[in-house]
């Protein structure tokens, strides 16, 4: 679902009704504040009649979702710092491609289903309680920015993730002298085997928790294994995947080993960057990208290759963030020159500008798509 702002408040009501169809509890806002009382909506969403009445009020500028149990366990990782989001996305490229994500006035909101809770993380917040809400597209920020989806909502349910394993929530540090608790496991049997060292942590971290997660979890397993054994042969990988398969059998629908091995083999060949990919690795990969650079030369070629490497890292069609400063560093030119080159590449349809960057000094990078072949 992609919702684009055209005029207010008609589109806001239309958006609110679409979000309500997901059984989300939504409210109208003026600026970043609720446009009226909303405590009664922390228990259950408003019906259509109530929504139409709420959004008929003058001055409405946005629509927000109440998080936590009010919206079926909806959680949001609020990245106020763009660089923090980029760092997380580089380490978790698969999740960055599939988790619904909103470009906000300052950073990004990443949505998923997860346990309720709240934590201030310094560069943003983990929000998953019905005492908090977040603005949704096509809301307008008081500064004038329009919220928009850069990773669209799926047609069905959102992914259910462990926020700690996904790098979206830092676990609490136990008091001095208190042993840290073990992270939640999939079953007592799995925990027992992990403690004995009989299951690699890569298996334990990627076991599905329910039906419909098998392929996604196999992709995550392939990412983790490629990070520690990138040159592994099929003979070396097969025993690990068989162990994963045996432990996953109680919760997956596909009971044939050959189907799981087929999907893992496809994932292994698809994974371009393992878990833990860094900016340094991406820039190194950019130097050897074999892409059509046309008649360009010098700094323009370096920036084209960087854009191609970023696109391959994020996945086909997924926007990537790139600041003029970073582009200039890679190309060996000033941020001002890099900005002119990026504008030229947009003009020449080499890249597509998805969202413009923030004002100078805001640290909000523009997002782009590379329009060439990066396969």
* Domain-wise residue ranges, the chain: 10-151, 188-270, 279-370
Q: What pLDDT, on a 0 to 100 scale, did the predictor assign at position 272?
A: 53
Find the length of the chain. 375
CA separation for the pair 325, 153 (Å, rounded): 31
pLDDT number for residue 243: 87
**Cα-to-chain-centroid distance, residue 22:** 19
Q: How many C-beta atoms surround the C-beta of residue 333 within 10 A? A: 20
C-alpha span between 189 and 163 (Å, rounded): 22
- From residue 328, give the alpha-carbon distance in Å to each of 81, 86, 299, 331, 341: 20, 17, 8, 5, 10
Beta strand spans in 41-142 (E): 62-66, 74-79, 101-103, 108-113, 117-120, 124-128, 133-136
What backbone torsions phi and psi does residue 184 show, to the nearest 5 degrees? -55, 140
Q: What is the pLDDT along the chain (375 residues), one digit of tens a residue?
A: 333 333 445 589 999 999 999 889 999 999 999 998 898 898 888 989 999 999 998 899 999 999 988 898 899 999 998 999 999 999 888 889 999 999 998 899 999 988 888 999 889 999 999 999 999 999 998 888 899 999 999 877 788 888 888 889 876 544 444 343 333 333 433 333 333 333 467 788 888 888 888 888 888 888 778 767 767 788 888 888 988 998 888 888 888 888 899 989 887 876 655 555 567 778 888 888 888 888 898 999 999 999 998 888 766 676 778 889 889 999 999 999 999 999 999 999 999 998 887 666 555 678 888 988 876
Does the pTM surpass 0.75? The reply is no
Give domain 279-370's CATH number out of 2.130.10.10, 1.10.10.10, 3.40.50.2000, 3.30.43.10.
1.10.10.10
Q: What was the pLDDT predicted at 151?
A: 92
pLDDT, position 287: 85
Give the model's pLDDT for residue 83. 92
């Amino acid at each position: 679902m992609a919702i684009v702002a055209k005029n207010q408040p008609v589109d806001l009501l239309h958006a609110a009704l679409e979000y309500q169809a997901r059984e989300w509890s939504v409210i109208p806002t003026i600026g970043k504040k609720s446009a009226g009382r909303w405590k009664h909506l922390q228990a259950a969403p408003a019906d259509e009649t109530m929504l139409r009445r709420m959004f008929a009020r003058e001055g409405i500028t946005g629509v927000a979702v109440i998080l936590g149990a009010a919206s079926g366990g909806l959680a949001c990782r609020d990245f106020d710092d763009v660089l923090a989001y980029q760092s997380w996305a580089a380490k978790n490229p698969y999740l960055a491609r599939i988790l619904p994500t909103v470009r906000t006035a300052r950073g990004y909101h990443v949505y998923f289903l997860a346990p309720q809770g709240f934590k201030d993380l310094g560069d943003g917040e983990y929000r998953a309680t019905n005492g908090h809400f977040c603005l949704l597209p096509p809301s307008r920020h008081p500064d004038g920015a329009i919220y928009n989806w850069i990773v669209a909502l799926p047609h069905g349910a959102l992914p259910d993730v462990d926020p700690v394993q996904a790098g979206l929530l830092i676990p609490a540090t136990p008091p001095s002298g208190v042993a840290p608790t073990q992270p939640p496991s999939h079953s007592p049997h799995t925990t027992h085997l992990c403690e004995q060292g009989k299951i690699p942590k890569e298996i334990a971290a990627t076991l599905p928790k329910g039906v419909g997660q098998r392929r996604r979890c196999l992709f995550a397993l392939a990412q983790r294994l490629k990070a520690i054994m990138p040159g592994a042969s099929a003979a070396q990988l097969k025993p690990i995947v068989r162990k994963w398969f045996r432990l996953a059998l109680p919760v997956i629908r596909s009971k044939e080993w050959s189907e799981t091995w087929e999907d893992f083999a496809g994932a292994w060949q698809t994974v371009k960057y393992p878990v833990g990919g860094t900016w340094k690795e991406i820039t190194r990969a950019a130097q050897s990208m074999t892409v059509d650079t046309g008649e360009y030369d010098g700094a323009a070629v370096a920036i084209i290759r960087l854009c191609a490497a970023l696109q391959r890292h994020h996945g086909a069609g997924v926007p990537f963030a790139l600041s003029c400063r970073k582009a200039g560093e890679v190309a060996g030119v000033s941020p001002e020159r890099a900005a002119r080159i990026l504008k030229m590449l947009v003009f020449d349809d080499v890249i597509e500008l998805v969202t413009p960057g923030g004002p100078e000094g805001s640290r909000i990078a523009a997002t782009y798509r590379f329009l060439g072949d990066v396969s």
